[in-house]
Amino acid sequence: MPVFEYECKKCGRVSSFLVRNPSAHKPPACPRCGHPETTRVLSRFASVKSGSAGGEGADLSALDGLDENDPRSLGRAMRKMAEETGEPVPPEMEQMMRRLEAGEDPEKLGAEMEGMEGGGPAGDDTLYEG
């Protein structure tokens, strides 16, 4: 059974929901403040499609040729991994990938994220029934 994560549009809390039937699942209300509008976000831990014939392990080919000193390389690797998960990419992550692909300094981008209220959405360690 998959676990989906949703961010509340009102309080910004990210909550995890155990989903027993993904085809009938609808976005839940926020368990913290009760606001009815939540948006599904890319999970902090996402599995990727396997590249091995036996179906074991994660396909880490997105990291092949990664140059840790080149932000463009990091942006390309992030985009490839996001595509392989099949999960929707939040607009903030899409913007971050575009900026890295354009060659912006990752440390500068990280500092900007830290400057955001609370350093980004707050997480909730409870697993809710979805």
pLDDT at 54 over 70: no
* 46 vs 130, higher pLDDT: 130
Spatial distance between the Cα atoms of 121 and 123, rounded to a whole number of angstroms: 6
CA 129 to chain centre: 20
Side-chain-side CA neighbours of 85 within 13 Å: the count stands at 15
What's residue 30's pLDDT? 93
Q: Are 10 and 31 in contact (CB under 8 A)?
A: no
Average per-residue pLDDT for the chain: 77
Q: Give mean pLDDT, residues 45-70.
A: 59
Q: What is the pLDDT of residues 84-124, one digit of tens each?
A: 777 777 777 888 889 999 999 888 887 776 555 444 556 67
Structure tokens at 9: 């549009």
Q: What percent of the chain has pLDDT over 70?
A: 75
